[in-house]
Amino acid sequence: MKIWLCLCSFFVLVQTAFAQWSTDPSKNLQILSNSIKPKIVTDGEGGVIVVGESFTVNPLLYAQRVDRYGNIFWDSTLRGIRVTTAGDEQSDAIVVSDGEGGAYIGFNALTIVGYRQEPPEPIYSSRVRIQRINANGNPLFGSEGAILYDYPIDSTGGGQGIYALVPEDSGGVYVLWGDPRGPQGLVD
């Protein structure tokens, strides 16, 4: 799957719409290739940051930044930049602007740590990770991002994970995640 972007502006008072780049589907701006589940957020400078999950067996997250004029900043090959180099399965991305041309990207990460009996089913270690990418596409939380929550063995078959990111007034971010293995499945 390829991800396309069309910049449209809507004026409520005059009830008209126009596109600054193109309204022609054959000419809209392709920004990520081989990605699914795209998320988009403003970069705080008139452009956007888009995060998509790679369309492969082991999903990884890629990000792309486009300025207000349709120029691609981070990867002109349209693959995007890797959000982290961690070797786990990365999914369910949530992205918010950092207000400085970059973004915070929170996501779930799974790693196979073993297998159950017959038939073999994977046993996962589950984590909540976060990465901050600056306006130039550089990771600010190390190449693997920061682990906010780590549960070594996922014995319930899932349910834990990231739910929300909310920008904080001083340039930080609040992260909300939950784990059903707590008392009565309360959010941590």
At 71-82, the pLDDT tens digits run 888 988 888 899
Instruction: Give domain limits for the chain.
Output: 2-185
Q: Residue ranges of the chain with pLDDT lower than 50? A: 3, 5-19, 184-188
β-pair type (146-151, 161-167): unpaired
In this prediction, residue 24 carries a pLDDT of 64
Q: Give the residue from 32, 31, 34 showing the smallest Cα distance to 21.
A: 31
Rounded to 5°, the CA angle 128-99-139 comes to 50
Among residues 52, 25, 30, 27, which one has the least CA distance to residue 39? 52
State the pLDDT at residue 82: 92
Give the HSE-up count for residue 43: Cα atoms under 13 Å, Cβ half-sphere: 25
DSSP 8-state code for residue 185: G
Element (H, E) at 65: strand 61-66
What is the reported pLDDT for 58?
Answer: 81
Closest listed residue to residue 126, CA positions, set 172, 90, 102, 97: 90
> Tokens standing for 39?
């998320």
Q: Which of 98, 96, 118 is nearest to 106 (CA)?
A: 96
